Chains A and B, each alone.
Chain A
């Protein structure tokens, strides 16, 4: 791996990475532990195609959110890397 000669603002980059990571983990938590477990009773009052919503999140919805989260993260990281001149 080659060393990047150009000086990178590593601190600024890392701060933004942490902020992004924490926000995405919050969504990750809400979609699975939140919708699928903690607030299931509340969400189950609503139904999606006959499936109680909380139950659906626990068995299908959370997984879709997980996939979307990872691809969003990839795009956001690519943007950050461009902004800070980091070569991935």
Chain B
């Protein structure tokens, strides 16, 4: 059985499972649709959160990125996990106790203001659309790269699947599909990792291989990697050329951004209580950590293994008989280019130029480097073939990448559809809507959002800057949403004026900085304090916090109803309704 067969096998099997779950978990009310009936088990929700959180970028690109960045890649590892501590300690249990459906619900009700609600909706929509286009693009790439299906057709198939389970099942369908998707993606990620760890270090557990010696040698894996890369002119693997402040700021922006992302926050509304929300955040991080502690190990193994097998290897032309040529090279005492290299060369993700015409590949830092095309996604995708794993594992990695992209896309779709049907329609413009009408609107909005996201995904080839604007999502979430939510819980005196000023400050400053230094002035020496656009949300978060507190102190305290509400959400089990805060919608 070939790779193509197994790829189709896994993709069709997993997609059929997702649809089956969708039909089983249909939503009957808005409560089902937005928050899965508030009765998802904390561990199940943790698993769904992990799948929701880990996108195509985490699955396919992160390990490769770290392989090239070395220590510099730590910003992603700490940044995208540390945010869960903030979620568990500062946000999730209190927002669950507050007891409504969306992030704008909290902002609008806590700050007794339609304007605050609208700004929160804008932030939520902006963040989610930025993110979802990238997921759809990932789906298109997976289909076109592996199944020989056209890029746009691939996106349409992906859209079709998400359409079925998001529109039918809402949060309920999405939750249980995400559980299945988590299982697929973690299996697809860890199996090749175990084998590559065995090859490089002889230890089957990647996290331990990471701190072990190279197999059969008396030198530690990382020490050898440092020597090998510096010999080729690269920077030491355990170092970085980023300034300490920049590493600090990027880590901070990713952490606080994670805690402020609406599609992550709403996952904690699906459990039954504040206590369950805390436990669920713990489980989510366990499931995320499984992949996130494996990734740096895979990154270092892949870098070492790549240099070992490709550098100074004798090239074999594509039209030659690989086996015969390889045998001849070995007989001459040389090293043939590995078979997997030839396979991946066909995809265009890998390529060499024999600059000095010696027929041997030189991998170097600088101008005489002959590996002229090396896509960072290659390391995760090529792992199974590098490790000589059977064809069924290779097919599984494609299904895993699709699972990661689709599960994240679905979570984002929930934010987009609830922003329209719940925050804009039910809570702002058509307050008299019945539950049935709202459910219908929510399904319609989800359908519209799927189609819009697909169209954006199809156009990402033209919009080459999509990867660039992901920095917007985290920066904006950190600087605009995180401060007002935390202040809303921990500072009773925080009022409407302060919240609006704080959100606008975070939104405008961060947007301006990223836009300016990504598109107008791309010279890094002009960055403020040497902080890159990726990290600036962290600094502006403090500005937005200070502005919010300052304005609140200069304006009247919030009404008594609101202060009582804040006292209630701090103590689990004491939530009662409070006049203006709950006038339009009762807590549950």
- A residues within 8 Å of B by Cβ? 1-4, 8, 10, 13-14, 17, 21, 24-25, 28, 32-33, 36-38, 44, 47-52, 55-56, 58-60, 62-64, 66-67, 69-71, 73-74, 77-78, 81, 86-88
Are B248 and A33 touching (Cβ within 8 A)? yes
Are A36 and B281 touching (Cβ within 8 A)? no
B212 proximity list for chain A (CB < 8 A): 49-50
Indicate if B230 sits at the interface (CB-CB under 8 A): no
- By Cβ-Cβ distance, the 8 closest A-B pairs, closest first, are A50-B220, A49-B211, A88-B275, A58-B74, A87-B573, A70-B282, A59-B296, A88-B572
Are A63 and B211 touching (Cβ within 8 A)? no
The DSSP consensus for interface residues of chain A is helix
User: Please, how many residues of chain B have a CB less than 8 angstroms from a CB on the other chain?
Assistant: 58
**A-B Cβ contacts below 8 A, count:** 150
B145 proximity list for chain A (CB < 8 A): none
Indicate if B419 sits at the interface (CB-CB under 8 A): no
Are B71 and A58 touching (Cβ within 8 A)? yes
A37 proximity list for chain B (CB < 8 A): 244, 247-248, 251
A86's contact among B71, B74, B77, B572, by CB below 8 Å, is which?
B572
The DSSP consensus for interface residues of chain B is helix
Please, could you name 17 A-B residue pairs with CB atoms under 8 Å apart, sorted by A? Answer: A1-B573, A2-B573, A3-B576, A28-B85, A36-B251, A37-B251, A50-B222, A51-B210, A56-B211, A59-B74, A59-B210, A63-B77, A70-B285, A77-B93, A78-B275, A86-B573, A88-B572
B251 proximity list for chain A (CB < 8 A): 32-33, 36-37
Are A60 and B573 touching (Cβ within 8 A)? no
- B residues within 8 Å of A by Cβ? 66, 71, 73-74, 77-78, 81-82, 84-86, 88-90, 93, 99, 207-208, 210-213, 219-223, 238, 244, 247-248, 251-252, 255, 273-276, 278-279, 281-282, 285-286, 289, 292-293, 296, 567, 570-576, 587-588
Are A63 and B89 touching (Cβ within 8 A)? no
A71 proximity list for chain B (CB < 8 A): 282
Knowing A1-B99, A10-B567, A64-B289 touch, does A59 contact B85 (C-beta < 8 A)? no
A40 to chain B, nearest CB (A): 8
A60 to chain B, nearest CB (A): 5
Are A88 and B274 touching (Cβ within 8 A)? yes
A46 to chain B, nearest CB (A): 12
A63's contact among B66, B244, B281, B292, by CB below 8 Å, is which?
B292
Tell me, in angstroms, the Cα distance from A36 to B74 when the chains sit together: 8
Are B285 and A67 touching (Cβ within 8 A)? yes
Are A55 and B90 touching (Cβ within 8 A)? no
Tell me, in angstroms, the Cα distance from A30 to B276 when the chains sit together: 27
Specify the chain B residue showing the minimal Cβ separation from A13. B571
Q: Which of B85, B223, B248 has the most CB of A within 10 A?
A: B85
